[in-house]
Amino acid sequence: MLISRECDYAVRIVRALADGGRKTAETVSAREKISCQFTYKILKKLEKNGLVRSFRGAQGGYSLARGTDEFSLYDIFAAVEGHTLLTACLQKGFDCPMNRGDSPCSVHAEFARLQEAMVSGLKEKRVSEILGPLRRCP
């Protein structure tokens, strides 16, 4: 399983904004080596979900709406993708012919267990814990 590029970039965008102050999308884009168009798209999703604030005008830009100790990796992933699922069969309402009430699927049960462990881990990890002292990755 891979974390999507969009989720990866969203975490990197949060990293770029984590040191406080306002930054333009162009500044964030250049710092994190993400295309400006993709940066704008992700910033809009983060803003819509209350993780980022935008400011208009000459002194405009973006900043985090909350401290990095107030939200988790899960919050970032959920803002960008909704729900990150291991497999389609975990989607609510998915009709799997192999997972019926009278004959539950052991593979589905294991995927559900792993899904819960992943979500729990992502919710437990505060962004501030990952970023630690702010420093750039190589």
pLDDT tens digits for 22-54?
999 999 999 999 999 999 999 999 999 999 999
Residue 138 covered by a domain: no
Mean pLDDT, range 90-118, rounded to an integer: 76
Say whether pLDDT at 87 is over 80: no
Q: What single DSSP character describes residue 100?
A: B
Tell me the C-alpha distance between 50 and 63, whole Å.
11
Q: Name the CA dihedral angle for 136, 23, 7, 82, rounded to a multiple of 10 degrees.
A: 150
Beta strand extents in 65-111 (DSSP E only): none
Number of domains in the chain: 1
What is the pTM for the complete model shown?
0.80
User: Within a domain: residue 50?
Assistant: yes
62, part of any domain: yes
In a domain, 54, yes or no: yes
What pLDDT is stored for residue 64 in this prediction? 96
Across 14-25, average pLDDT: 92
pLDDT at 133: 61
For residue 117, what is the domain's CATH number?
1.10.10.10
CA 93 to chain CA centroid, Å, is 24
Please state, in angstroms and rounded to a whole number, the distance separating the CA atoms of residues 113 and 17.
Answer: 34
Per-residue confidence band for 116, with pLDDT thresholds at 50, 70 and 90: confident
Share of residues in the chain with pLDDT > 70 (%): 85
- Band (96; pLDDT cuts 50, 70, 90): confident
Rounded CA separation 34/40 (Å): 10
Residue 136: inside a domain: no
The domain of 90 spans 5-131
129 or 52: whose pLDDT is higher?
52
Decide if 91 is inside a domain: yes
Residue 135 pLDDT: 46
